[in-house]
Structure 1
Amino acid sequence: MPRPESAEAASSLAEAWHAELAAWVKDMRSYGDKLHDSADTYEANEAAAERAFGEVAVGDMRPT
């Protein structure tokens, strides 16, 4: 980088990348939390359905 402007641009780029990466990490953590919550809800609903209806064998779900 031969000019002072290049160094300034590189510094600005580094700051922008750092901010973008920090935002991405925050979003991925939020996504992971929501995915975990969804999995917990799914499992709870499956358990509630099994308690309500009993276990259903796969073969019993086929049309006759």
Structure 2
Amino acid sequence: MKKLPGNVSIEKTYRDSDREALLRRIRELEIELRKTEMARDAYDEMIRLAEQYYNLPIRKKSVAK
């Protein structure tokens, strides 16, 4: 294992950068998840309001077989 100035090993540098990249990816995915959940909630609310306003069932009812 090659040593860098300041007694920092290349292996440790790779691990730190990998960790930072993974943490950054986790944050990105959490943001994407929140956006997706908000969109789902908005669609559900639009369907609920349309069903109430037009008095029509929009959602498909599941039928047990």
TM-score (norm 1): 0.71
Percentage identity across aligned positions? 13
Identify which of structures 1 and 2 has the higher relative contact order when contacts are C-alpha pairs closer than 8 Å and 6+ apart: 2
| Larger strand proportion of the pair | 2
Say whether residues 1:40 and 2:41 are aligned partners: yes
Q: Which runs of 4+ in 1 moved over 3 A?
A: none
RMSD: 1.9
| Larger helix proportion of the pair | 1
Separation (CA, whole Å) in 2 of partners of 1:4 and 1:56: 69
Alignment-derived partner of residue 3 in structure 2:
4
Uncovered stretches (5+) of structure 2, i.e. residues with no partner? 59-65
Uncovered stretches (5+) of structure 1, i.e. residues with no partner? 58-64
Cα distance, 1:4 vs. partner? Answer: 2.9
Separation (CA, whole Å) in 1 of partners of 2:57 and 2:27: 41
Per-residue CA deviations over 1:2-35 (Å, capped at 9, x if unaligned) read x435x72111111110100110111111111111
Residue type of the alignment partner of 2:15: A
Separation (CA, whole Å) in 2 of partners of 1:40 and 1:56: 18
